[in-house]
Amino acid sequence: MFDKDRFHNQLALNLGYQRIVNDKRINICIDDEQYSDDVMISIKIDGFSSPICYKVSEGLSQNGLDCLDENGYDDIKIIIDAVHQAYIQANKAF
- 42-75 pLDDT tens trace: 888 777 778 888 888 887 777 666 666 666 667 7
Average pLDDT, the chain: 77
Please check the confidence at residue 17 and state whether its pLDDT lies above 80.
no
Three-state SS for 83? helix
One-letter amino acid of 58? E
Provide the whole-model pTM: 0.70
Is residue 91 within 8 Å of residue 3, measured between CB atoms? Answer: yes
